[in-house]
Amino acid sequence: MNAVYLLLVVLIPPLAGAVVAFAPWRRRAHWMCFLELAVILNSVLVWLLLFNRPADTLTLIHFTGELSIAFRLDGLGTVFAGLVSFLWPFATLYAFEYMTKEKHERVFFFFYTLTYGVTLAIALSDNILTMYCFYEMLTLATVPLVMHTLSREAILASRKYLYYSIGGAAFAFIGMIFVITYGDTTEFLLGGVLNMSKVGENRDILQFIYFLTFLGFGVKAAVCPFNSWLPKAGVAPTPVTALLHAVAVVKSGAFAILRVTYYSFGTDFLRGSFAQNAVMAIVMFTIVYGCSMAVKETHLKRRLAYSTISNLSYILFGAALMTPFGLVGALSHMVFHALMKITSFFCAGAIIHQTERIYVHQLDGLAKKMPKIFGIFTVSALALMGVPGLCGFISKFYLASAAIESGNVLSYFGIGCLLISALLTAIYMLSIVVRAYFPTGEFREETLEGISDPNWMMLLPLIVFVIFIVGFGLFCAPLISFFGDIAGV
Amino acid sequence: MEEKMNFILLVPILFPVIAGVFLLWKREFQKRRSLLIFVGAVLLLTGAFAAVGILGGERRFTAFYLTEELPVFFKLDELGRLFASLVTVVWILAGFFSFAYMKKEKREKRYFGFYLITFGVLLGLDFAGNLITMYLFYEFMTLASLPLVLHSQTGEARMAGLKYLFYSFCGAYLALFGVYFLVRMGNTIEFTPGGVFESSFLLEHQTLFLVITMLLVLGFGVKAGMFPLHAWLTAAHPVAPGPASGVLSGIIVKGGVLALIRVLYYLIGPDFLIGTKVQKAWIVLTLITIFMGSMLAFREPVLKKRLAYSTVSQVSYILFGLAVCERTAFEGALLHVIAHAFIKVCLFLCAGAMIYQTGCKRVEELRGIGKRMPVTLWCYTIASLGLIGIPPTSGFVSKWYLGTGALDGKMPVFSWLGPLVLIVSALLTAGYLLPVTMRGFFPGEGFACRREKEARLMTAPLIIFAALTLFIGIFPETALTVIRAISGVCI
């Protein structure tokens, strides 16, 4: 297909969002249908593009010399764009139902859809400058979503989110400058673009700069110690928490790290350096830290947010291995975690929507009243733990295999961290499940009068996701071999 | 023709699982009777399907591929046959016992649903032909049996259930660390008697393999109630309904044993283990567990908890036999798997029958129980004698093999220390099991009680288990021929 379509898919969502926000609509159902159709159309276009990948680059603006804003679709971009465009229509559908209880809906949906376009732009970026620009824009587009309820808590949370993200981007900016200076080109090429003759004596400095870049992009991927914005941002409406803070925004951080690691600095340059060890140590710590905090947390959405922190670091662990197999592991966990976490968040959202219960200890016996939601939640919990037969097992298996393959002794400890985290995941997820299904003697069923499963707009996305969780868990050979092709295994 | 029939291995696995899920999903039955007929029919049919599989020839079946490297593959070898027949017999009999026992409990439908699912999962574990398939069913075994523990929904049951869950997953993940390495480093993950690694390769990576062997032992040892991760067992088994505690203690702990045999004797190879520090550490752990379990059982006043401590001790007899890595001891271990399964299920069912009839849970309350429920107490007594190891019961034969095997082993200290601990523990076993019999039949002066009617559905399984204990004790060759076929290829 023509490369112009790349621009089109980035532009349709913000335009459609603007129409929803500013056109005079008579009825809610009308703009809902319009927006849903626009989002579906866009996703269909993206998937058409993925299957007929345009070979050439679309340069929008040419600043000077190497610097330009340009789009191109390569392997890594395919995965991220495919993931985002698959989830967005479902999430929009879910959001329609969820937002009935909130105000300022149309403004909300403007920013919600705008984010879709920006995230796609990150996925389709041809060079580091383009990615950086849209990365900053992503922060700005999502701040209003966090702030949505305009409560004091929400404003504080969004301010924190803003400061953290902008600060992180500043570090990433330093990295970008160095890549532009020492690289042959600013484009993303598998294996890296650094020119060794230019680097010469400055290896150590560049490795240190990589470390800074990692931390910078790592802010969005919630690497410890820059993670505290994520649980705070849980005050946002659940569709935001689910799609943005479990998939789009945080995965953009992870995606950017994969880009700079494998496509800019290059793994050959980094492997075995102190930067790799430092990065891996941080990631391993975050994996265990996130899970431990999740066990401690009793607020359901915040618990899931901590779980996200830990799982994002699984992806970064794959990045930190700096081998092709590591990239396969990272990509598979990126996709599978997105599915699992959006499912569990949507379940949490459905519980909040139907019962207004937000703490774990309020969930006693609810499974009887909301059997579908809790059935789905159980599947996502088991998948997150990595029970074989569900997709979480596959990605953990590939991460662990990659760690063994790399022969790096530190990474053996990383496997240990993965497994500790799996145990903690079992604790914080299954204690919810057991509570909901097996209430103890003091529990009175009358307190749950009038509670039921939500309607189809909430259930349909969940059912689709669960089918994919199980489907990929049982049969994902083609997907893994596709990731293998991307990583050049 | 034979080739095409291989999918038959899947039938006994899937059939009870589907039936169980159907039962959970379905609304309450109008009559209790129809529920029982449904469950009974499923149990018997599954038994028949399993028998067709077990009695047939060598079967291999690849169901599908998780990914290219990870096939879900079933294979029926001698070891699988042994465990599968054990599971089938015990599950059906304990199921019929449940029909009578569960009359007094609530939420029967859920209980039977998960009971059936667990049956299928256990058969899957036994039929698993490679590491990943086994691991898959191993985790499902934990999950499917959890509702049995949680059944009564008291605060105590929930704590015990969570403890069971977290200990089991802790073990599973310890083992998973080893599983990752075995999958990545071996040429194949299919179970092959004697191991799949070249000895030179093992020596090259000796430290690594010692570490992962230790982790596998500790991890799968959790399910088998091995010290130091045994605490869940004595919490979880007693809170379940009587027949469920029976199958948990008699069969599900053997899942850990099976997994250990599979990874040590069918993947890593026993030769690697002999003389290493890991072997010594493992033997020390099993001996500690044997002694400690018996001691704790000795001072425990609640009958079902006492039996649970006894399980801790007895399963480590089996692990001790495996750890010695010697043929006779290995045979003794497998024999003890059979003996202990029948005996422990029998004992727990007896305890369940007593609770059902009298409501007495503590040992001192059971005075005169032999006058009230003679059949139950007779079965209890025979099973007790088996567990102590008095001829002519199955426990005697298995302990004989374990003891002589340990003496034949070439380990400096353990060759005499091991049998000594076994004998001391046997003494303690007599001490904690027989008082029930003595007080039951001889309540002492001035104790009047009448014989009560014992439900036939309850006594029949008890009698069968007691008879099996005696039968294997008198004709051990029947079991030993099968066991020799296994040990012949493994060691």
Q: Enumerate the domain spans of chain A.
A: 280-489
Q: Whole-angstrom Cα distance, residue A485 to residue B17? A: 38
How high is the pLDDT of residue A443? 74
Neighbours of B68 (CB within 10 A): 12
Residue B1 has pLDDT above 60, yes or no: no
A197 touches chain B (CB under 8 A): no
How high is the pLDDT of residue B292? 92
Q: Whole-angstrom Cα distance, residue A217 to residue A164? A: 11
Coil/strand/helix, residue B46 = helix
Q: Which residues of B touch A404 (CB under 8 A)?
A: 180-181, 184-185
Distance of CA A407 to the CA centre of its chain: 28
Residue in B150, B181, B184 closest to A438 by CB: B150
Q: Which residues of B touch A389 (CB under 8 A)?
A: 66, 136, 140
| pLDDT tens column, A355-364 | 888 898 888 8
Q: Which residues of A touch B183 (CB under 8 A)?
A: 397, 401
Distance of CA A379 to the CA centre of its chain: 20
8 Å CB contact between A434 and B162? yes
In the numeric block, the tokens 């929930």 are attached to B158
| pLDDT tens column, B262-319 | 999 999 888 888 888 899 999 999 999 999 999 999 889 999 999 999 999 999 999 9
Q: Which residues of B touch A476 (CB under 8 A)?
A: 66-67
Q: Where are the alpha helices (DSSP H) in B186-205?
A: 199-204
Residue in B64, B136, B161 closest to A434 by CB: B161
- DSSP for B365-413, please give it: GGTTHHHH-HHHHHHHHHHHHHHHT-TTSHHHHHHHHHHHHHHHS--TT
CA distances (Å), origin A203, targets A41, A196, A476, B432:
47, 9, 40, 71
CA neighbor of B243 nearest in space, from B340, B87, B362, B100: B100
Termini Cα distance of chain B: 33
Q: Whole-angstrom Cα distance, residue B188 to residue B130? A: 9
Q: Which residues of chain A have pLDDT under 70?
A: none
Residue in A394, A405, A419 closest to B176 by CB: A419
Contact at CB, A476 and B66, closer than 8 angstroms: yes
A480 touches chain B (CB under 8 A): yes
Contact at CB, B66 and A473, closer than 8 angstroms: yes
CA neighbor of A334 nearest in space, from A257, A411, A414: A257
A400 touches chain B (CB under 8 A): yes
Q: Whole-angstrom Cα distance, residue A290 to residue B78? A: 45
Compute the nearest-CA separation of B233 from chain A (Å). 18
8 Å CB contact between A234 and A161? no
Q: Which residues of A touch B150 (CB under 8 A)?
A: 434, 438
Which of residues B3 and A420 earns the better pLDDT score? A420
8 Å CB contact between A422 and A382? no
Q: Which amino acid is at A28?
A: R
Find which of A325, A394, A411, A440 to mutate to test the B interface (most B CBs within 10 Å of its CB).
A440
Q: Whole-angstrom Cα distance, residue B128 to residue B79? A: 11
How high is the pLDDT of residue B3? 54
ipTM of this complex prediction, to 2 decimal places: 0.90
Q: Which amino acid is at B124?
A: G
Compute the nearest-CA separation of A31 from chain B (Å). 39
Q: Whole-angstrom Cα distance, residue A394 to residue A387? A: 9
Compute the nearest-CA separation of B154 from chain A (Å). 5
Q: Whole-angstrom Cα distance, residue A349 to residue A458? A: 9
How high is the pLDDT of residue B2? 47
Q: Which amino acid is at A428?
A: Y
A382 touches chain B (CB under 8 A): yes
| pLDDT tens column, B217-267 | 999 999 998 988 888 999 998 899 889 999 999 899 999 999 999 999 999
How high is the pLDDT of residue A25? 82
DSSP state of B454: P
Which of residues B445 and B32 earns the better pLDDT score? B32
Q: What is the pTM of this model?
A: 0.92
Q: Whole-angstrom Cα distance, residue A456 to residue A94? A: 9
Please state whether beta strands A67-71 and B59-67 pair in parallel, antiparallel, or not at all (unpaired): unpaired
DSSP state of B75: E
Q: Which residues of B touch A433 (CB under 8 A)?
A: none
Q: Whole-angstrom Cα distance, residue B10 to residue B17? A: 11
Contact at CB, B68 and A419, closer than 8 angstroms: no
How high is the pLDDT of residue A62? 85
How high is the pLDDT of residue A463? 93
Q: Where are the alpha helices (DSSP H) in B264-324?
A: 270-273, 277-298, 303-324
Q: Whole-angstrom Cα distance, residue B207 to residue B191? A: 23
Give the sign of the dihedral formed by CA A318, CA A323, CA A325, CA A328.
positive
How high is the pLDDT of residue B196? 86
| pLDDT tens column, B416-452 | 888 899 999 999 999 999 988 988 888 877 777 788 8
